[in-house]
Chains A and B, each alone.
Chain A
Amino acid sequence: MKLTDYERAMLEGREGKARQKAMELLVRYAEALGAQRFVDTTNVAGVPGSSSPYLQNYYKSAGKSYDAIFSHFDLDSDELVEVPRVTVHSCHLQGGLDPDNWQRLGGKPDAFQISQTSEHDAAARGIRILKTCTPYLAGNVPTRGEHCAWMESSAVVYCNSVIGARTNTEGRESTSAAMLTGKIPDWGLHRDENRYATHRLDIEVEVTSVMDWGMLGYFVGDVVGERIPVLLGRYGEPDLIRHKHFGAAAASSGGVEMYHIVGVTPEAPDLQTALGSKAATHTIAYGRAERRRTYEVLNANGHSTDVDYVMLGCPHYSLDQIRDACQLLEGRKVSANCNLWIFTSRSVKGEAEKLGYTKIIRDAGGVLLTDTCSAISQAVPPGTKVAALDSAKQTHYLPAMVGIEAWFGSTRDCIDAALSGRWKGEAP
């Protein structure tokens, strides 16, 4: 690998032990990838030093401290180092519990205490505590072309595709190391030649609603895997919410980290540009049959129509989505046999409170939660058997992770289910 003088200085320990261990990990990682050099990153999003009772216990001989978990787990260092303040703009993504409602989520007091301490320790090192999978809705919006190092597949795909910034799907260890060094391997989507589409998707049915975009994303991820698709055809002007649901779904059924939509996304003014002036290696149609099949796959884990849990907010709901849910909920009551949990970021919840949305949800018998979601926290209301979800991503993960049935549909389908306790969603 080619290293700059400063990178070599860090690697040799001249910038402190923690940066040395961070560089050692980044060099091992870059060599595994086959990268030749690093890029400077100015925006890092991860879960630095995030702790759990398991990790606390595992590293108890090292003192259980933030430094211990950051050294041994985040930096994969056998040596304990003192973790300094971060050197570049860094934020903490989603966590495992809502600090205001951890008991409702079935959290244990020790897990809550551990989470509070590690959050405090991260903040003391200059890390923004955003606690969301949607940093771009909570004040972290990179600029086009900015080299980022982000975790969270739904945020990564949004960052590359919608904003036109550059990040690979980083992991906990690489982002924590990047926070201390401002370096990440120059590989993959940091480089122009890897940002072009290879798979052409011809959209032959009208794709308009958030649910439509979620299903399309789920289909696309399944057919392209880790490749970059370019969409062409019958879609309107997708808004932020549609991009959020499309990207999250495509990153779950496959490994999509970037997509182009001709005439919509910044690096796809036309088909030729999106393809890098090459021919597409694959051309795939999305028509009525594909849409139907995608709906059936997403609903394959739904059998009983008695819904006892409705979860919204994967990825974390935007203020507009909370408003829309409130319009459906205002003056009505969630069924006594059902729970309604809506997840968002602390930042958006703060706004929702000022606009009276939190109260509308509470009065209807639901709850607005932050920081996490059912899949991340593996928390569903006690006794849950059948969930209703408006997110293809959550539908992909939740039934397998907590062993429940799940229905996928529109936000309206889900709120109807919360109010009536019955699933009445239909295929489009």
Chain B
Amino acid sequence: MSTRTITLRGRKVVGGVAEGEALVTRETISGWGGVNPAQGTIIETRHELRGVSFKDKVLVFPGAKGSSGWSVVFHMTRLMGTAPKAMIFNEMTTKIALGAVVMRVPSITDLDQDPLAVIESGDWVKVDADRGVVEVRKAAAHREATA
């Protein structure tokens, strides 16, 4: 299998460049009451990522929901060293915009393909928010390339 890279284009939310392993969820994420900032883990009772940490991952998700404490909780992840490396999301809200700004991680939205359909957990993702470009190396291909 040859290395397969998929390129998505979108709009910069917060500038910068970062890359890392993708953590993908089809469920929106609550900040306050839904995330433990000390570990960077999702704690919401019925969430598919319950118990999973997004620390140093490229977090790919539909968007934010819940309490207005969203930005504070994600702001705290920056202070506590558990923030994701970058964020890719579909649905713009004030919660996620402010959270991305104060977390100071490269973030992109309004992509030309649905990132939830293209990116799977474990894929290697490079986010160049300044240029509005996301490069996805599929997990299988990535394992071969680094073997």
Interface contact A254-B65, CB-CB below 8 Å: yes
A61 to chain B, nearest CB (A): 13
Interface contact B71-A171, CB-CB below 8 Å: yes
B92 at the interface (CB under 8 A from A): yes
Whole-angstrom distance between the alpha carbons of A150 and B69 in the complex? 12
Give every chain A residue within 8 A of B24 (Cβ-Cβ). none
Contact A174:B65 (CB < 8 A) given known A58-B79, A73-B75, A400-B43? no
- CB under 8 Å from chain B, chain A span 51-71: 54, 58
One digit per residue, 1 when the CB lies within 8 angstroms of any chain A CB and 0 when it does not, for chain B 71-111 equals 11001100100000000000111110111111000010000
**What 8 pairs across the A-B complex have the smallest Cβ distances?**
A171-B71, A32-B97, A255-B65, A151-B68, A168-B94, A397-B33, A171-B98, A400-B45
Interface contact A174-B93, CB-CB below 8 Å: no
One digit per residue, 1 when the CB lies within 8 angstroms of any chain B CB and 0 when it does not, for chain A 145-178 equals 0000011110010000000000011111110000
Whole-angstrom distance between the alpha carbons of A401 and B55 in the complex? 20
B7 at the interface (CB under 8 A from A): no
Give every chain A residue within 8 A of B67 (Cβ-Cβ). 152-153, 251-252
Whole-angstrom distance between the alpha carbons of A297 and B14 in the complex? 37
Interface contact B79-A32, CB-CB below 8 Å: no
Interface contact A34-B92, CB-CB below 8 Å: yes
Whole-angstrom distance between the alpha carbons of A174 and B13 in the complex? 16
Give every chain B residue within 8 A of A400 (Cβ-Cβ). 33-34, 43-45
One digit per residue, 1 when the CB lies within 8 angstroms of any chain B CB and 0 when it does not, for chain A 29-44 equals 1001110000000000
B39 at the interface (CB under 8 A from A): no
A28 at the interface (CB under 8 A from B): yes
How many residues of chain B get a CB closer than 8 Å to chain A's CBs?
35
Whole-angstrom distance between the alpha carbons of A156 and B11 in the complex? 28
Give every chain B residue within 8 A of A86 (Cβ-Cβ). none
Give every chain A residue within 8 A of B69 (Cβ-Cβ). 151, 171-172
Give how many A-B residue pairs fall within 8 Å (CB-CB): 101
Give every chain B residue within 8 A of A286 (Cβ-Cβ). none
B25 at the interface (CB under 8 A from A): no
A347 to chain B, nearest CB (A): 21
Partner of B94 from the list A58, A76, A188, A375 (CB cut-off 8 Å) is A188
Q: Which residue of B lies closest to A45 (CB)?
A: B68
B70 at the interface (CB under 8 A from A): yes
B interface residues with partner A (beta carbon < 8 Å): 11, 13-14, 28, 33-34, 43-46, 63-72, 75-76, 79, 91-95, 97-102, 107
- CB under 8 Å from chain B, chain A span 70-105: 73, 76
Whole-angstrom distance between the alpha carbons of A150 and B97 in the complex? 16
Interface contact A28-B101, CB-CB below 8 Å: yes
Interface contact A171-B99, CB-CB below 8 Å: yes
Partner of B68 from the list A33, A76, A156, A397 (CB cut-off 8 Å) is A156
Give every chain A residue within 8 A of B91 (Cβ-Cβ). 225-226
Give every chain A residue within 8 A of B46 (Cβ-Cβ). 297
Q: Which residue of A lies closest to B68 (CB)?
A: A151
Whole-angstrom distance between the alpha carbons of A172 and B76 in the complex? 12
| Residue from B76, B98, B100, B107 whose CB has the most chain A CB atoms within 10 Å | B98
| Residue from A54, A153, A170, A297 whose CB has the most chain B CB atoms within 10 Å | A153
Give every chain B residue within 8 A of A254 (Cβ-Cβ). 65
Give every chain A residue within 8 A of B44 (Cβ-Cβ). 400
Whole-angstrom distance between the alpha carbons of A401 and B31 in the complex? 12
A301 at the interface (CB under 8 A from B): yes
Give every chain A residue within 8 A of B65 (Cβ-Cβ). 225-226, 254-255
Give every chain B residue within 8 A of A233 (Cβ-Cβ). none
Interface contact A170-B45, CB-CB below 8 Å: no
Interface contact B79-A33, CB-CB below 8 Å: no
| Residue from B14, B44, B72, B101 whose CB has the most chain A CB atoms within 10 Å | B101
Known: A151-B69, A172-B75, A185-B94. 9 other contacts (CB 8 A): A28-B14, A76-B75, A150-B68, A171-B94, A174-B71, A225-B65, A252-B67, A375-B33, A400-B33
Contact A171:B33 (CB < 8 A) given known A29-B98, A226-B63, A399-B45? no
Interface contact A33-B92, CB-CB below 8 Å: yes
Give every chain A residue within 8 A of B68 (Cβ-Cβ). 150-153, 156, 169-172
Give every chain B residue within 8 A of A32 (Cβ-Cβ). 13-14, 97-98, 100-101, 107
Whole-angstrom distance between the alpha carbons of A297 and B45 in the complex? 11
Q: Which residue of B lies closest to A172 (CB)?
A: B72
Partner of B66 from the list A150, A172, A252, A401 (CB cut-off 8 Å) is A252
A393 to chain B, nearest CB (A): 9
Interface contact B66-A255, CB-CB below 8 Å: yes
Whole-angstrom distance between the alpha carbons of A79 and B13 in the complex? 23
Whole-angstrom distance between the alpha carbons of A101 and B126 in the complex? 50
Interface contact B93-A226, CB-CB below 8 Å: yes
Contact A169:B11 (CB < 8 A) given known A226-B63, A226-B65? no
One digit per residue, 1 when the CB lies within 8 angstroms of any chain B CB and 0 when it does not, for chain A 346-380 equals 00000000000000000000000000000100000
